[in-house]
Chains A and B, each alone.
Chain A
Amino acid sequence: RKEVEQDPGPFNVPEGATVAFNCTYSNSASQSFFWYRQDCRKEPKLLMSVYSSGNEDGRFTAQLNRASQYISLLIRDSKLSDSATYLCVVNIESAGTYKYIFGTGTRLKVLA
């Protein structure tokens, strides 16, 4: 089983739609969680951290379920500019060192 698993997609949605991605992780010692966005031929960029209580940033909502070991990302009112690959990232911290595990990403294409 992969340490971080995501549905690769692609998710093709019309503008204005709401779309949700899930990501599951296998290591219960995982401590921090993030969603990154990667545009084609670009480096990944932090979209948002994921807090235990859930958090919202504009049209984006992230949630964490530790019991079931998954995180989610909800995008409301999709824009064409949201088209990208969304990477789920899990951080495991041990003895002062960090190890970030990346999912393979979920491709989103927002259609006009």
Chain B
Amino acid sequence: SAVISQKPSRDICQRGTSLTIQCQVDSQVTMMFWYRQQPGQSLTLIATANQGSEATYESGFVIDKFPISRPNLTFSTLTVSNMSPEDSSIYLCSVVRLRGSNYGYTFGSGTRLTVV
């Protein structure tokens, strides 16, 4: 499966500021995904990042708040803009790989964000 390096692993930020999270994959992948996992909750898909096109956002998430870059097939960034305490969460990037007849998701180690 793919190896994903995600950073920062954690950060404490002031409200109103922005944080950019980076994910580097060890091989080329078509789609990268950004998830959020709030305390005690499951994972919620924020957006799908495709190389060479605009990201596709899920309901409840907008580009102005969560701009995404995907400059090449191995790298993506997610920015959490104009942060508020409600944005405190774990943010995870992931890729999906076809292995034989199966599909599997691999996740980065996550970014634990606390907004104060």
Contacts and interface: CB of A to CB of B under 8 A. Distances in A.
A87 to B, nearest CB: 7
B52 interface: no
Interface of A: 32, 34, 36, 41-46, 49, 87, 89, 91, 97-100, 102-105
15 contacts: A41-B112, A42-B110, A43-B108, A44-B107, A46-B104, A46-B105, A87-B42, A97-B56, A98-B96, A100-B96, A102-B43, A102-B44, A103-B42, A104-B41, A104-B42
Interface string B82-116: 00000000001000100000111111111010000
B106 A100 contact: no
Interface in B16-50: 31, 33, 41-45, 48
Interface in B38-79: 41-45, 48, 56
Interface of B is mostly: strand
Going nearest first, the 5 A-B pairs with the smallest beta carbon separation are A43-B107, A104-B42, A102-B43, A102-B42, A49-B102
B102 A97 contact: no
A102 B45 CA distance: 9
A32 B105 CA distance: 12
Contact of B105 (A34, A42, A104, A105): A34
Contacts of A104: 41-42
B43 A44 contact: yes
